[in-house]
Amino acid sequence: MYERIKTTSSVRKWEIALTILLIAIIAAVIFIAIDNPNTIHDINGKIVFSSSSMIDQEIYLMTDNNSNITNLTNTSGSNAVPTWSSDGTKIAFSSHRDGKWEVYVMNADGSNQTNLTNSSADDIDPWWSPDGSKITFCSNRDGNSEIYTMYSNGSDVTRLTNNSAKDAFPYWSPAGDKITFSSNRDGDYEVYIMDIDGSNQVRLTNSSGDDVDASLSPNGIRIVFVSDRTGNSEIYTMNANGTDVIKLTNHPKWDGCPSWSPDGSKIIFSSDRNDSPDIYTMDSDGENLTRLTYETYIELTPRWSQ
């Protein structure tokens, strides 16, 4: 729905293949010993994220430290893009279990999974208002990707954007008075901010690449976002008015899906810098990079709660 984000005998061939396999196994053992995937990191709270094999994507919960991971969903369709309610008791997410993307909500332990939307189109990317009363999300129910809000029980769906371009990636501000989002109404995706009723839509970025996944820090001063303006997907921050853009990551592999820690001191994100997207944290200035997961699965959209 959205643009988000490669003249020897047969006996000799087998000898070469086995040699390569043996070298790969030895290299993997050395890598594990050096990178130490058994290192325990205190994450000071709870992290919810999605993880996928070649079949389905499911939602997982990481608590206490990165060694304690619990599967919260297990359905025949993918479950993705989880987000916490402000009190940490519920998780909103998108699910494809019914043949199209719908917004669901569940308790923090994975129980009581409830469908909030039931349209003929795709509904995705939910995000809670700070007081927990509403959820903003994306839908193409009116023929184009637009941003909507609804009450947390699924009632009173209200359309906030209305144009021929695609509006996506909505995030409620911590103060509850603004929503950041991305739109390609000017040719490529740029970061915008608007009031919660859809008025006063202001463009914050103006780059030659796509700027997406923009969310305000807990104190409302900085915005973290993803941009490929330099030719590769990297994580940036800027002031809430779009000034003072700072590049935090600089790696030839993909970095994306950033989100703030509850106190704003760290940023959690996904990166495939080790060949498969895993979850990392870094300080809000880009320092002290820490890897939290060491899986062969694709792990995306990590979100932090107290």
Q: Are residues 29 and 155 in the same domain?
A: no
Q: Are residues 204 and 111 in the same domain?
A: yes
**60-84 confidence digits (pLDDT tens):** 999 876 668 999 999 989 999 999 9
Q: Are residues 114 and 22 in the same domain?
A: no
Q: What is the C-alpha separation between 176 and 218, in angstroms, rounded?
A: 11
Cα torsion angle, 102, 103, 104, 110, sign: positive
User: In this structure, what token pair is assigned to residue 33?
Assistant: 């010993």
Q: How far is CA 15 from the centre of its chain?
A: 43
Residue 2 falls inside a structural domain: no
Answer yes or no: is pLDDT of 1 > 80: no
Answer yes or no: is pLDDT of 2 > 50: no
Q: Are residues 28 and 136 in the same domain?
A: no
CA 58, 61, 67: angle at the middle one, nearest 5?
Answer: 115
Name the band, by pLDDT with cuts 50, 70 and 90, for residue 23.
very low
**Residue 29: which domain range?**
7-36
Q: Are residues 17 and 80 in the same domain?
A: no
Q: What is the C-alpha separation between 137 and 290, in angstroms, rounded?
A: 30
Q: Which residue has the higher pLDDT, 22 or 112?
A: 112
Q: Are residues 159 and 226 in the same domain?
A: yes
pLDDT of residue 9: 36
Residue 60 falls inside a structural domain: yes
Beta strand 146-151 with 134-139: parallel, antiparallel or unpaired?
antiparallel
Q: Are residues 15 and 105 in the same domain?
A: no
Q: What is the C-alpha separation between 159 and 164, in angstroms, rounded?
A: 14
Question: For the chain, how many structural domains are there in total?
Answer: 2
**104-134 confidence digits (pLDDT tens):** 999 999 999 999 998 889 999 999 999 999 9
User: In this structure, what token pair is assigned to residue 160?
Assistant: 């906030």
pLDDT of residue 68: 83
Q: Are residues 119 and 47 in the same domain?
A: yes
DSSP 169-199: EEEE-TTSSEEEEEE-TTSS-EEEEEETTS-
CA–CA distance from 145 to each of 124, 181, 291 (Å)? 10, 12, 34
Answer yes or no: is pLDDT of 93 > 50: yes
Q: Are residues 24 and 140 in the same domain?
A: no
Q: Are residues 25 and 49 in the same domain?
A: no
Q: Are residues 47 and 113 in the same domain?
A: yes
| Distance linking the first and last C-alpha atoms of the chain | 32
- Work out the number of other CB atoms within 10 angstroms of the CB of residue 176: 14
Q: H or E element: which one contains 22?
A: helix 10-35
Q: What is the C-alpha separation between 262 and 106, in angstroms, rounded?
A: 21
Q: Which residue has the higher pLDDT, 137 or 7?
A: 137
**132-166 confidence digits (pLDDT tens):** 999 999 999 999 999 999 999 999 999 999 999 99
CATH number of the domain within which 246 lies: 2.120.10.30
Residue 1 falls inside a structural domain: no
pLDDT of residue 8: 30
User: In this structure, what token pair is assigned to residue 190?
Assistant: 């740029």
**27-43 confidence digits (pLDDT tens):** 333 333 334 555 666 67
Beta sheet of 178-183, edge-to-edge order: 167-172, 178-183, 190-195, 202-203
**Residue in this structure with the two tokens 């106190």, named with its chain if needed:** 263
pLDDT of residue 155: 97
Beta strand 266-271 with 278-283: parallel, antiparallel or unpaired?
antiparallel
**163-220 confidence digits (pLDDT tens):** 999 999 999 999 999 999 999 998 999 999 999 999 999 999 999 999 999 999 999 9
**Residue in this structure with the two tokens 């954007």, named with its chain if needed:** 161
Enter the DSSP assignment of 20.
Answer: H
